Structure 1
Amino acid sequence: MTNVLITFPIKEKFRQELTGKFPQVHFDFSDSIEGAGDKKVTVLVTYGSDLTEEILEQLTDLKWVMVASAGVDKLPLEKLGERAILVTNVSGIHKTPMAESVLAHILSLNRALPLIHEQQKQKVWEKMKSSELRGSKALILGPGAIGGEIGRLLQAFGVYTIGCSRSGSVHDGMDEDISFEHITERLPEADYIISVLPSTPETRWILDRSHFQRMKKTAVFMNFGRGDLVKEEVIVEALQQGLIAHSVLDVFEQEPLPVESPLWDLENCTVSPHVSALSAKYVERALEIFKENLQVWLAENGEFKNVIETKRGY
């Protein structure tokens, strides 16, 4: 018997779909990982943060962890690897809401929407400067499924897109692709530096002060990937010293962002509470990938989607 524990709430219609489609599977919709050690769980469906090393030791029957997130950096990956436990994620389902979030912020800044909103509150009728996207350049760190969709939308607005990845291989939605080794030399020409990189040993703290010193003073830096891409103090310094024009941050070194953080009060910084991937269709899309993989699991035949290499972290 395959025992599946889902540790986050899902709608009743999704519960019925799962039990109806897979009658041979026992589903536990406890919405919590507490007490999981006594349930002989073979498959764990989780957002990831609740699976600690201590709990993992209790799950002696566990064979597969399905993470309903793209990032798996909160998982005890080393221990999972040692036990050869299958780890999969839902990479790809975030591309639509995240790409739309990035585009919304860029258009908002270019068309001076924050200033328009502020002037309305103050009942001020005054023209303001605005710009357009056509003819600009975007350097996209992490041109995978999400980065590729961001690139595709930006290309529709006449933006030249440069994808930057570990390998530098060709990606959809990019006019050009480079490797991490060439970030420094291309930064001076980028109007938008957009990161959707996951947290891995290769990407942690990959940007430092020297990178911001090479950016245009009119550039916008955007981080929608993970908060350990660059130290917060580096971003604060860059904004305070005018090394860049603006920063849009959806992820942070510490979350929730502490109230004492200078980022809250900087006029040239947009603080977003890690919401760019949220969508009413999030859980539905995640469960579709889970159902496909569960069919492979039960048939013991076929290839799993979105398998994570525990040593690499992606």
Structure 2
Amino acid sequence: MKILFSFYPKRDQQTRLIENFPQAEFIFQKPLDEEALKTADILVTYGEDLHASHLEKADQLKWIMVASAGLEKMPLDEIAARNIILTNARGIHKIPMAESILAHILSIKKSLPLMAKNQRNGEWSPKLNPTELFGSTALILGTGAIGSEVGRILQAFGVHTIGCNRSGKMASSMDTIVSFGQLKEVLPDADIVISILPSTEETKHLLTYEHFQCMKPSAIFMNFGRGDVIKEEELLRALTEERIAYAVLDVFEKEPLHKEHPFWKMHNVIVSPHASSHSSQYVVRALEIFSENLTEWLNESNQLENIIDLKRGY
């Protein structure tokens, strides 16, 4: 059995895989080794280097493990047509992303951006107008592993959490839950709106300018899912008109964000370069999921973790 990686884990991680699975032949090669892919049984990738044309020659490929959560750049239709199993690393982002989201919220609530500006200007000004997180309401769009972890931490700070998902089905660490169709009903109650939604046909441009009109003028909007949940010109309009107080953006419709984009210089926007999930433990956790699944695979079990519904894309 041949397992092809299109990225390089650390040397000790490679060694551990080879020692734990002596029945497998591991190939670690970056960029994607197209020749090795032709005879590979399993591909482990970050999901951005595999194209439909590759699958035409990958006759032996049976399983693709994506060492990330996003799948929007994957040739899902072609993978489905070949009946190739697709899994991802869903769940490994929840700790670093929840910490990043909390850091940004507390930074704004405690006026740290203004404090930093005053320091650069050599200005001693205690008039910072900080607010408290305690007693506020957070609306969390996307109630999977990341959303639930964000909800858990916010609840510990005394925040009321409203979850929002496609079905309106209850999720952990949410005080209440609504469906996508009920968004406008709860937006006026939210002090913080956090999108952690993936990019799917159902979520693309889900949020509109009308949604921002429903929000409090003091609301903070945070996008840590995918940039196409809203058209950027509509968000830009809402920020320019101060329909909301702040936006914290880790993802964008087109990345990297163009250096001339207005977001860079707006006083009520924080630009994060799609870095909220970065962590020294990222690959460690991804390989833990892969190793557990590989054990199941070798035991001819179909109980793999994080199998993707190729029709839905998640």
Q: In which range does the TM-score fall when normalised by the shorter chain?
A: over 0.9
Q: Deviations over 1:63-111 (max 9, x none)?
A: 1100001111110001100111000001001000000000000000000
Deviation at 1:42, TM superposition (A): 1.0
Please name the residue that 1:292 is paired with.
292
Aligned residues: 313
Once residues 9 and 268 of structure 1 are traced to their aligned partners in structure 2, the CA distance between those partners, rounded to angstroms, is 39
Written as runs of structure 1 = structure 2, the 5 A alignment for 1:171-186 is 171-186=171-186
Written as runs of structure 1 = structure 2, the 5 A alignment for 1:60-99 is 60-99=59-98
Once residues 12 and 173 of structure 2 are traced to their aligned partners in structure 1, the CA distance between those partners, rounded to angstroms, is 36
Written as runs of structure 1 = structure 2, the 5 A alignment for 1:156-171 is 156-171=156-171
Q: Deviations over 1:44-69 (max 9, x none)?
A: 00010100111121212111100001
Structure 1 residue runs without a partner (length 5+): none
Q: Once structures 1 and 2 are overlaid, which stretch shifts more, 237-246 or 30-39?
A: 30-39
Q: Deviations over 1:198-236 (max 9, x none)?
A: 111111111111111111110010000001100110111
Runs of 4 or more off by more than 2 Å in structure 1?
34-39
Paired AA for residue 204 in structure 2? R
Once residues 38 and 215 of structure 2 are traced to their aligned partners in structure 1, the CA distance between those partners, rounded to angstroms, is 53
Once residues 281 and 31 of structure 2 are traced to their aligned partners in structure 1, the CA distance between those partners, rounded to angstroms, is 21
Is the CA contact 2:6–2:30 (under 8 Å) kept in the aligned structure 1? yes
> The residue matched to 2:56 in structure 1 has which SS?
helix
> How many percent of aligned residue pairs carry the same amino acid?
52
Q: Once structures 1 and 2 are overlaid, which stretch shifts more, 90-99 or 119-128?
A: 119-128
Is the CA contact 1:36–1:59 (under 8 Å) kept in the aligned structure 2? no
Once residues 300 and 16 of structure 1 are traced to their aligned partners in structure 2, the CA distance between those partners, rounded to angstroms, is 24
Deviation at 1:38, TM superposition (A): 5.8
Structure 2 residue runs without a partner (length 5+): none
Is the CA contact 2:168–2:178 (under 8 Å) kept in the aligned structure 1? yes
Q: 1:230 to 1:199 in 2, by over 3 A?
A: same
CA RMSD, Structure 1 to Structure 2 (Å): 1.0
Question: Please, what TM-score do these two structures have when normalized by structure 2?
Answer: 0.98
Once residues 35 and 164 of structure 1 are traced to their aligned partners in structure 2, the CA distance between those partners, rounded to angstroms, is 41
> The residue matched to 1:58 in structure 2 has which SS?
coil
Paired AA for residue 34 in structure 1? D
Written as runs of structure 1 = structure 2, the 5 A alignment for 1:236-255 is 236-255=236-255
Once residues 100 and 111 of structure 2 are traced to their aligned partners in structure 1, the CA distance between those partners, rounded to angstroms, is 16
Question: Are residues 1:213 and 2:237 paired?
Answer: no
Q: Once structures 1 and 2 are overlaid, which stretch shifts more, 31-40 or 117-126?
A: 31-40
Q: 1:38 to 1:276 in 2, by over 3 A?
A: closer
Paired AA for residue 42 in structure 2? V
Question: Are residues 1:307 and 2:307 paired?
Answer: yes
> The residue matched to 2:167 in structure 1 has which SS?
coil
